[in-house]
Structure 1
Amino acid sequence: MAKLSIVNILEECVISPQLASSISSPPPPTSLPLTFLDIPWLFFPPSQPLFFYEFPFANSHFTSKLLPSLKRSLSLALQRFRPLAGTLILPPWPRKPEITCGEADYVSFTVAKSDGDFQLLSSHSCQRDAREFHKLVPKLPLLSREARDKLSLLAIQVTMFPHFGFSIGLAFHHVVADGRTFNKFMRVWSSLCSDMIGGDHNYDLDQCWSCYDRTAIMDSHGLEGIFLKEWWERRSSLPMVGTKEVSTKEDFGEMVRATFVMGLDDMERVKIWIVSTQCNKKSEPQSLHLSPYVLTCAFLWVCLVRSQVKGNEDTIYFGFIAGGLTRVGYPVPTTYFGNCIGFGRAAAARGELMGEDGVLVAARAIGGTVKRLDKAMFRGAEKWVSEWQSLIGSDVHTMVSGSPKLDLYGRDFGWGKPKKIEEIEIDSTKAISLFESRDVKGGMEIGLVLPKAQMDAFTIIFKQGLQDL
């Protein structure tokens, strides 16, 4: 492959939460214990979302006009989401992990410049060297030199591509909050920055306060003790992936990154094919859960399985995240800061997924899992950690990172919506990313990182599969 681009660090600083003098804020929490819905994320590496923005101007204009607004608005946004600037404390047994917040809290903020091809990196239509993206996202700094017992929860890197655009890369540990909460933070930050650039400083911050009440999450199934026991038993063997303690040693030289889009028309064709061709053919009851998400994931799962060269497992799995606000069985404030999600894992026989009815088999498995989560999200939850550990980094099983419901393409910092969004964490976890489509209304963007030979095979199978419906 071609020579990799060079990224030079121009500035490393810290941004602390600040408070606008005209706003009276409630006192921030000093300590947030992890709930049983937070603890499973201790086993996962940080998320690394990367946003590309077009900005066809010189560096001097960016650094003098836009960069100060990014920093000031970030400081104000963090005041509404204080734990993001806090510290994850990982004490030895029997003390429980917690997030602490104090006056000295900050977020690491890096400014860099790249000589890379902005148009190529932000492309929707071609394969790109996966290694090109690694230097565009930060790593979470460890705050303790003696032991891995203190960890930052958020780090940010802004990288300029002179006369073309820039990127905003983040490292975000999911143990502090779910995608819903993170998206709210990004919405507040981008809105504040947009207001500053446009000269309007009247954004209503009073509507952005978070609820930190941990009693909002009730552990009626005794899951906290189960998850903590697994954490204490395994923590010494878990690498702090995504932090500055560990440099990436994996060889991504043969890996390429690509994006595929499923539009509403594509989903409808998949649905019609399942219902009319398969369900009627086999006289099955047409009670399958065939949401756009299920249809997309089912088709994607089959394409991935068929593109694999190796793998003889009889049963393979498809893992995904399910929102919990409507599934936990009791009201949770929509402003709750933390995790309120469940884990779903669908199973199917490889031979059936490879067969002519593969998409039906996949839709039945994924849709059935969604229906079970709707009915009883915590049934079998004591196995969440062990089941999902088998998915991370697997070449055989599949798991989804992200959600098309978050509207991340709506994050306008004052110069338009993102040109492209990537999730860099999937390089290591071997997951797939799902975002809402930027340009296709109701569509979904599928992000993949695969060996080039498999990506070529997947591309043919994906495109041909849609044509054959």
Structure 2
Amino acid sequence: MAKVEAISSCIIRMAGNNANPISRLDLTPCDLQLLPLDPIQKGILFHNPLSKLNLIDHLKTSLSRTLDFFPPLAGRLATTAHAHATFSLFLDCNNAGVEFVHAVAAATSVADILEPKWIPEIVASFFPHNGLSNWDVVSKPVLVAQVTELVDGVFIGCTANHAVIDGVSFWHFFNSWSEISRGSDTISKTPVFKPWFPSNVPDDKRPLRLPWLEQDPPLSSVPPPRLERVFHFSKQTLSKLKARANSEAATDKISSLQALSAHLWRSISRCRYSGMSLDDGREAPFGIIVGLRTRIPLPEGYFGNALVSAKMTMSAAELVQKGVGHAAVRINELVAQHTKEKVIKVIEDWVVSPTLLRRGNYAFVMASSPRHNVYGNDFGWGKPIAVRSGPATKIDGKMTLFPAAEAGGIDVEVCLAPETLRAIEDDAQFMEVFTV
């Protein structure tokens, strides 16, 4: 099997022209709840630049200049112990630097990544710091970038501490890096480093104090088998699915994303429970990430985490036996419940009784977003040809959403138990909607 070899590793610091000076950043409830979870791991694949001469040095230099606009990413998380077995955490913007890894996959081509039906295992090696949680890397680099040279391509992957940034801020940084790499002296959207706290966290209550983290049980050294595949849904396919869901539900409120989510939820549950009795009260959980930027609202360019998780369950029998419109209505109602008042109350309640999210198998969860600007990341040699995520948070039932290369489409990176994914591929009801 082809391997990835690390050629070098170094620390990249800000270039010194700090465009947005900041010395410290207190973490918000939205940040802190993610401490025990895995980091964000996303990356993009390119065909070879016309010339690879000085490619690595160019990317190091442009990364350094980009950090001038994102000083928190060059910092370190620091802890302070307090009485009563509590601690506080803040981001020290000390320019300790970002780790940059140069790697080579000498026997791997772009076709080796894109042509197999299932995502090949080597993709996991395109990402640094695998197997570590956000808490594990306290005092270590907040961001680690890895540039992997393929036979005829380049993969740029990043691992970022999810207790510091969410997907919106992650792609904001990636977009800015590509702008600087193309030769710009500035970036088109300036990050805003004023963290948002609810009204029950005045200035003198910051940073928030938390009970010392209880360690999760150690994960098995041999994880359960999983397969991953990218399913593409074109703009036309999504339009038809949306129309079908709204027609079945006799409404016009269901969005394309909600219709797609319902289709995936029903199809995977049907295949996962195939051959089992659904009359035993078995439940089918559903989880989704709800963004808060437009709900609170927060300023354009807000840096940090601005999200809450939303969950519900439906009986497996009800989900499978009723149509996609029925499931889509439930998803629509779940999202609609998260008004400005509701999400602020959730965060205020968290401050009173903080709980940290835990790793686990949620059976079905939708993550990331098709609204991120992925294919606009031109580093100076053309747009990406594909996007992939790393092994972090990969559980049976994880759906990672990306925009498709063509406008209006959505790609879903599906992670499932092998028997479930194979059943999905043989399921006519699912595949009739899937666009090759």
Which TM-score applies when normalising by structure 2?
0.85
Pairing 1:202-217 to 2, within 5 Å after superposition:
202-205=184-187, 208-214=189-195, 217=196
Distance 1:399 1:386 in 2: 20
1:136 pairs with 2:147: no
Amino acid at match of 1:82: P
1:56-110 per-position Cα deviation (integer Å, ceiling 9, x unaligned): 76xxx42x3322211111001011011111111234443311110114x111111
1:223–1:50 CA distance, 2 compared to 1 (3 A): farther
1:279 pairs with 2:256: no
Does structure 1 retain, via aligned residues, the 8 Å contact 2:269–2:284?
no
Distance 1:17 1:266 in 2: 45
Does structure 2 retain, via aligned residues, the 8 Å contact 1:393–1:428?
no
Amino acid at match of 2:99: S
1:232 pairs with 2:211: yes
1:50 pairs with 2:50: no
- Selected match of 2:9 from 3, 9, 12: 12
Distance 1:141 1:17 in 2: 27
- Selected match of 1:424 from 382, 390, 401: 390
Does structure 1 retain, via aligned residues, the 8 Å contact 2:268–2:424?
yes
1:29–1:452 CA distance, 2 compared to 1 (3 A): same
Amino acid at match of 2:194: D
Distance 1:399 1:317 in 2: 8
Greater alpha carbon shift after TM alignment, 255-264 vs 182-191: 255-264
Partner of 2:71: 82
Distance 1:432 1:321 in 2: 11
The answer for unaligned runs of 5 or more in structure 1 is: 196-201, 242-247, 281-285
Distance 1:414 1:385 in 2: 45
1:432–1:124 CA distance, 2 compared to 1 (3 A): farther
What is the DSSP-based 3-state SS (H/G/I as helix, E as strand, rest coil) of the residue aligned with 2:11? strand
Amino acid at match of 1:406: H
1:219-256 per-position Cα deviation (integer Å, ceiling 9, x unaligned): 1367999x977x625x2314899xxxxxx93446x433
Amino acid at match of 1:218: F
Amino acid at match of 1:76: R
Partner of 1:244: none
Does structure 1 retain, via aligned residues, the 8 Å contact 2:110–2:150?
no
Distance 1:413 1:386 in 2: 40
Does structure 2 retain, via aligned residues, the 8 Å contact 1:136–1:169?
yes
Does structure 1 retain, via aligned residues, the 8 Å contact 2:259–2:325?
no
Does structure 2 retain, via aligned residues, the 8 Å contact 1:33–1:96?
no
Distance 2:141 2:262 in 1: 36
Amino acid at match of 1:301: W
Runs of 4 or more above 4 Å deviation: 221-225, 309-313, 379-388, 462-465
What is the DSSP-based 3-state SS (H/G/I as helix, E as strand, rest coil) of the residue aligned with 1:258? strand
Partner of 1:245: none
Partner of 1:305: 269
Amino acid at match of 1:367: N
Distance 1:316 1:380 in 2: 24
Distance 2:186 2:310 in 1: 37
Partner of 1:106: 97
What is the DSSP-based 3-state SS (H/G/I as helix, E as strand, rest coil) of the residue aligned with 1:417? coil
Does structure 1 retain, via aligned residues, the 8 Å contact 2:130–2:392?
no
**1:450 Cα shift?**
2.4
Count of equivalent residues: 417
1:344 pairs with 2:310: yes
1:323–1:106 CA distance, 2 compared to 1 (3 A): same
Partner of 1:454: 420
1:393-440 per-position Cα deviation (integer Å, ceiling 9, x unaligned): 41x62112211111212111111111111112456344211000013x
Does structure 1 retain, via aligned residues, the 8 Å contact 2:124–2:391?
no
What percentage of residue pairs aligned between the two structures are identical? 23
Distance 1:51 1:250 in 2: 28
| CA RMSD in angstroms, aligned pairs only | 3.2
1:156-188 per-position Cα deviation (integer Å, ceiling 9, x unaligned): 1111112x1011111111211222222111111
- Selected match of 1:95 from 87, 102, 122: 87
- Selected match of 1:322 from 290, 293, 317: 290
Amino acid at match of 1:212: F
Partner of 1:415: 381
Amino acid at match of 1:102: N
Partner of 1:263: 234
- Selected match of 2:257 from 270, 293, 302: 293
Pairing 1:135-214 to 2, within 5 Å after superposition:
135-139=125-129, 149-162=138-151, 164-195=152-183, 202-205=184-187, 208-214=189-195
**1:386 Cα shift?**
6.2
Does structure 1 retain, via aligned residues, the 8 Å contact 2:76–2:138?
no
Amino acid at match of 1:45: D
Distance 2:61 2:281 in 1: 52
Which TM-score applies when normalising by structure 1?
0.79
The answer for unaligned runs of 5 or more in structure 2 is: none
Distance 1:128 1:25 in 2: 39
Distance 1:307 1:141 in 2: 29
Partner of 1:362: 327
Does structure 1 retain, via aligned residues, the 8 Å contact 2:241–2:256?
no
Partner of 1:39: 32
1:371 pairs with 2:336: yes
1:222–1:347 CA distance, 2 compared to 1 (3 A): farther
Greater alpha carbon shift after TM alignment, 29-38 vs 88-97: 88-97
Does structure 2 retain, via aligned residues, the 8 Å contact 1:90–1:148?
no
1:67 pairs with 2:56: yes
Pairing 1:17-36 to 2, within 5 Å after superposition:
17-20=14-17, 25-26=19-20, 28-36=21-29
Amino acid at match of 1:299: H
1:422–1:149 CA distance, 2 compared to 1 (3 A): closer
Greater alpha carbon shift after TM alignment, 451-460 vs 39-48: 451-460
Does structure 2 retain, via aligned residues, the 8 Å contact 1:12–1:110?
yes
Partner of 2:401: 434
**1:380 Cα shift?**
4.6
What is the DSSP-based 3-state SS (H/G/I as helix, E as strand, rest coil) of the residue aligned with 1:236? coil
